[in-house]
Amino acid sequence: MGRRAGAVPDQERARALTIIAGGDWRSVAACQCADPELFFPISNTGKSQEQIAKAKAICARCPVGRECLAFALRTRQAYGIWGGATEEERDGAGRRALLNRGERDDRVPGAHAAISGRQARA
């Protein structure tokens, strides 16, 4: 069985888990080398759609995408793309959809609890 497109290699995932356990997940985020403006489109129409797609592509290959999304939901980030999710996807209805979709990832312990609001803040 082949690896799915955008999947994070096992070695990279293992390194990310070690760093996450230490509380420094941002240091291994795939967006570290990207222009921060890319993750904060001015709208969700027109040319911004291309910007959103590029940001989400970076998030898709990020070893700490689930932790990023959990952080955004836990801290109620109102703007930007976090963990591959736009503002609209993270709003009340979007939050429920993420949970219903099973945004659980066993490689990031506690991510599902954080998304659902049950994890204590670090």
The 10s digit of each residue's pLDDT in 22-59 is: 677 888 899 999 999 999 999 989 999 999 999 999 99
Q: What is the pLDDT of residue 14?
A: 73
Q: What is the pLDDT of residue 101?
A: 59
Asked if the model's pLDDT at residue 91 lies above 70, the reply is: yes
Determine the average pLDDT of the residues in 65-90: 91
- Joined together, the tokens standing for residue 122 give 């670090």
CB 62 within 8 A of CB 105: no
Per the prediction, the chain carries an average pLDDT of 75
C-alpha to C-alpha distance for 3 and 46, rounded to whole angstroms: 33
pTM of the model: 0.64
C-alpha to C-alpha distance for 121 and 89, rounded to whole angstroms: 22
Q: At what angle do helices 47-60 and 65-74 cross, to 10 degrees?
A: 120
Closest C-alpha to 109, from 67, 69, 60: 67
Query: Please, which pLDDT band fits residue 71 given cuts at 50, 70 and 90?
Result: confident
Closest C-alpha to 107, from 3, 21, 30: 21
Instruction: Please state, as a whole number, how many other Cβ atoms lie within 10 Å of the Cβ of residue 14.
Output: 13
Closest C-alpha to 101, from 89, 114, 117, 87: 89
